[in-house]
């Protein structure tokens, strides 16, 4: 079997496992219950402000988790860095010109986590960095 085809199959399998594992870690926030038959009211303004800060922290936590999982599951990934809304995965080998499979896996996993579209995923190789398209 062609080593490239085998590598692609391994990456595709890894992507499916990563997405499955991360989707199990998705948003666990409780829904609105109407068991009492009443109507739900909007939370006070200060509570909504706290929610937006919590959402930001939630995104950071999800990016951190995504970095940990990708570091373990992507072949030759050596480390990751998180700066704001940017997750950089560093590889010990490979090339920025052959980033497609890594980006596919990373974007699929991010989508499974429900990350907003405004985060950035960047793959870093010995010959440079490449941002994964949204």
Q: What pLDDT does 99 receive?
A: 92
Work out the angle between the directed axes of helices 3-23 and 100-113 (0-180°, nearest 10): 10
Query: What's the count of helices (H) and strands (E) in the chain, helices before strands?
Result: 3, 4
Say if residue 127's pLDDT is above 60: yes
Higher pLDDT, 72 or 20: 72
Say if residue 43's pLDDT is above 80: no
Say if residue 40's pLDDT is above 50: no
- Domain locations in the chain? 9-19+59-134
Residues 6 or more apart from 113 whose CB is under 8 A from it?
A: 22, 23, 25, 26, 62, 65, 66
The pTM of this model reads: 0.60
Higher pLDDT, 117 or 124: 124
- Please state the rounded mean pLDDT for residues 11-28: 48
Q: What are the distances in angstroms from CA 2 to CA 5, 8, 29, 65, 123?
A: 5, 10, 45, 33, 25
Q: How confident is the model at residue 14 (pLDDT cuts 50, 70, 90)?
A: low
């Amino acid at each position: 079997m062609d080593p490239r085809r085998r590598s692609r199959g391994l990456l595709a399998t890894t992507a499916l496992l990563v997405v499955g594992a991360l989707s199990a870690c998705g948003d666990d926030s409780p829904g609105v219950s109407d068991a009492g038959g009443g109507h739900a009211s909007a939370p006070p303004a200060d509570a909504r402000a706290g929610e937006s800060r919590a959402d930001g922290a939630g995104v950071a936590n999800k990016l951190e988790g995504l970095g940990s999982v990708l570091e373990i599951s992507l072949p030759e990934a050596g480390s990751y860095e998180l700066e704001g809304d940017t997750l950089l995965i560093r590889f010990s080998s490979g090339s920025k010109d052959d980033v497609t499979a890594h980006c596919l896996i990373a974007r699929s996993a991010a989508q499974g986590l429900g990350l907003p579209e405004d985060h950035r995923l960047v793959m870093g190789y010995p010959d440079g960095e490449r941002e994964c398209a949204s």
